[in-house]
Amino acid sequence: MQQRNFGTSNRPVPAIGQGSWQIEASGKADAIAALRLGLDLGLTHIDTAEMYGAGASERIIGEAIRGRRDEVFLVSKVLPTNASARGTLRACEQSLRNLGTDRLDCYLLHWRGSYPLTETVVAFEALKRDGKILSWGVSNFDLADLEEVTAIAGAPECNQVLYHLQERAIEHAVIPWCQAHGTALVAYTPFGQSPALYDPTTSGGRVLEQIALAHGATARQVALRFLLRYPNVFVIPKAARPGHVRENAAADDFELSAADAAALEAAFKLGSPRDLPMN
């Protein structure tokens, strides 16, 4: 599995990881089996959040990684409603209990809320000093937000945002900013939110299908590879079925050509700069 340095830590992390939004809906046993298969295939970057299933996702992941914690680059997120200085500390402790671990590899502010960023950063730095988190970052931050948090404590290790073929707004400014500041860009929902994206009767779907056939791959694998053409980008697709886990892992087996990327850029327009969507 291809690995990339995550942020400024120089820690190698798989470019393709595992997301866990609504993973509890797949059933506990199936979700655990899928996560463990992902680890076996090298998808050792696992992302979760206290919000996901009100802690259920974290608890499932905790069971899945039991006995294998040292293999995993583990990320969770604090809700903005809990992101005061004290609230962040409490939330992190609860996430650690849910996950059955003594530390997170990266801890993120899920999105901006009413608490000042300075409060959250103070808590992040305290958790880092205590060894409960190894690094911290943000999620759903646009350019102005990134500049603000950087003025407080330097560039965040990670910015996790929505990014897929039909949602490329971050390519205007957010990806270049992250590249310039050594911040990892983690793409959630990398397959998009509409099955029509992969419909071969549409112009975009036909381009995906043609490129996939040329590489002996699937359209979904091509969609992942397109996002990974930026060297600081990581993707965290969710997969609750073994076939999907294997499909995601196999997206590491090929590279898109410059002509492939150009064809996809033409089929799925960049669009105008605007505020980031949030999930």
Catalytically active residues, by annotation: 52
Cα 105 to Cα 154: distance, rounded to the nearest angstrom: 18
Nearest Cα residue to 142 out of 114, 119, 163? 163
